[in-house]
């Protein structure tokens, strides 16, 4: 049973999502995560379903500042379906659409990072094609973000793209980040860097 990562919608802040999850009838806050002031201001909260075995972790990724949900347990597929209906999260297809249609640089950077978070599933040619486009984008920040986002996914199919970027990108920093991502993913045997 693999965990499921769901990416939140961009217009929602971390505490908006925390409040929305707190208001869902089928989830309750895991008590031990709420005892200290430090934990109350933490950027990691855990909720559980009634079965007390299926959980959703609200995580604010420190690198991207993008909140996402990590679902685990026997009913995690059911929980994912319910959360898709809650308007808190985007589907991978919605994010793919954004990647292909957003025009502003900041929106493109946000979209590719969210696609990396949301693409926890099996290899997708659609997602690979989008990463190929982003790794060749004229804007250096978009290319950097695309390289970084590959580490969320960890597919071996990124190897050739990252190797090409490491040796051919006109920006030295992007090339170095690609080389580092390639090394990290090879060392981890192509497992996603972030669970």
Decide which of 62, 90, 118 is a domain's last residue.
90
Per-residue pLDDT of the chain (195 residues; tens, 9 = 90+): 589 999 999 889 999 999 999 999 999 988 654 444 434 445 789 999 999 999 999 999 888 889 999 999 999 999 999 999 988 998 889 999 999 999 999 999 999 999 999 997 889 999 999 999 999 999 999 999 999 999 999 999 999 999 999 999 999 999 999 999 999 999 988 875 444
Same domain, 12 and 61: yes
Neighbours of 23 (CB within 10 A): 9
Same domain, 61 and 110: no
Q: Is residue 80 part of a domain?
A: yes
Same domain, 56 and 104: no
User: What's the pLDDT at 37?
Assistant: 42
- Tell me 36's DSSP state: S
Which residue in 90, 135, 140 sits closest to 114, CA to CA?
Answer: 90
Neighbours of 109 (CB within 10 A): 23
Name 60's Cβ contacts closer than 8 Å, sequence gap at least 6.
14, 43, 44, 66, 67
Decide which of 45, 60, 90 is a domain's last residue.
90
Looking at the chain, the number of H-run helices and the number of E-run strands are 9, 6
Q: Report the Cα 171 to chain-centroid distance in Å.
A: 25
Query: Domain tally for the chain?
Result: 2
Same domain, 106 and 170: yes
Q: Is residue 192 part of a domain?
A: no
User: What's the pLDDT at 1?
Assistant: 57
Decide which of 90, 123, 157 is a domain's last residue.
90
> With the CA atoms of 179, 185, 189 and 195 taken in that order, what torsion angle do they form, in degrees rounded to the nearest 10?
180
Same domain, 84 and 11: yes
**Nearest-angstrom CA–CA distance, 18 and 29:** 10
Q: Is residue 194 part of a domain?
A: no
**Nearest-angstrom CA–CA distance, 154 and 127:** 12
Same domain, 58 and 23: yes
Same domain, 81 and 121: no
Same domain, 76 and 123: no
Q: Is residue 160 part of a domain?
A: yes
Same domain, 171 and 112: yes
User: Do 4 and 77 form a contact (C-beta atoms < 8 A)?
Assistant: yes
Domain that holds residue 167: 92-187
Using one digit for the tens of pLDDT, what is the confidence trace for 104-139?
Answer: 999 999 999 999 999 978 899 999 999 999 999 999
| Beta strand extents in 49-194 (DSSP E only) | 55-60, 67-72, 89-90
User: What's the pLDDT at 32?
Assistant: 53
Same domain, 131 and 48: no
Q: Is residue 148 part of a domain?
A: yes
Q: Is residue 98 part of a domain?
A: yes
Same domain, 117 and 166: yes
User: What's the pLDDT at 39?
Assistant: 42
């Amino acid at each position: 049973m693999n965990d499921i990562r769901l990416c939140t919608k961009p217009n929602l802040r971390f505490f908006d999502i925390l409040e929305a999850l707190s208001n869902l009838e089928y989830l309750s806050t895991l008590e031990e995560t709420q005892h200290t002031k430090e934990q109350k201001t933490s950027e990691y909260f855990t909720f559980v379903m009634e079965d007390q075995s299926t959980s959703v972790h609200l995580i604010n990724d420190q690198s991207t500042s993008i909140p996402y949900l990590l679902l685990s347990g026997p009913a995690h597929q059911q929980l994912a379906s319910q959360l898709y209906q809650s308007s808190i999260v985007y589907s991978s297809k919605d994010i793919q659409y954004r990647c292909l249609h957003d025009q502003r640089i900041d929106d493109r950077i946000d979209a590719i990072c969210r696609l990396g978070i949301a693409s926890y599933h099996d290899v997708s040619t659609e997602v690979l094609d989008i990463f190929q486009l982003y790794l060749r984008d004229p804007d250096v920040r978009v290319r950097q973000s695309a390289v970084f986002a590959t580490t969320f996914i960890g597919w071996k199919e990124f190897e050739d793209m990252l190797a090409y970027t490491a040796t051919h990108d006109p920006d030295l920093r992007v090339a170095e980040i690609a080389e580092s991502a390639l090394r990290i993913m090879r060392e981890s045997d192509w497992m996603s860097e972030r669970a």
